[in-house]
Amino acid sequence: QKEVEQNSGPLSVPEGAIASLNCTYSDRGSQSFFWYRQYSGKSPELIMFIYSNGDKEDGRFTAQLNKASQYVSLLIRDSQPSDSATYLCAVKLRGSSNTGKLIFGQGTTLQVKP
């Protein structure tokens, strides 16, 4: 079992819809969770991080964390064609607080169609 798993997609949604991206992780003691967006040929850029169970909202983006079920999700409301990218989930495992070491999923490709 991979430590961090994402459906590679592509996930296709129409413009204006809600895109839901999911990520599961294997280490129950994982502490911190990050979502990065990566456009083709570019480096990842941070969208959000979440540490506590529940929802965290930032503009059109909402991160949801459920530690009991070991999943973290990213919702994108009012999806725009400019949101088309690969979304990487990253998890800081238990015991990695001092090193900052992250484990990345393989990413989910999102396509927003006009």
Residues in contact with other proteins by CB under 8 A are 4, 6, 8, 34, 36, 42-46, 49, 88, 90, 97-102, 104-107
CB of 82 to other proteins, least distance (A): 19
Q: How far is the CB of 16 from other proteins (least distance, A)?
A: 28
Q: Which of 10, 33, 8 is CA-nearest to residue 84?
A: 10
Nearer to other proteins, 18 or 46 (CB): 46
Q: Which of residues 17 and 104 has its CB atom nearest to other proteins in the complex?
A: 104
Q: Measured from the CB atom, is 49 or 71 closer to other proteins? A: 49
Tokens of 86: 């690969």
Q: Shortest gap between Cβ of 97 and other proteins (angstroms)?
A: 5
| In contact, 63 and 37? CB cutoff 8 Å | no
Of the two residues 82 and 98, which places its CB atom closer to other proteins in the complex?
98
Q: Could you tell me the smallest distance in angstroms from the CB atom of residue 75 to other proteins?
A: 20
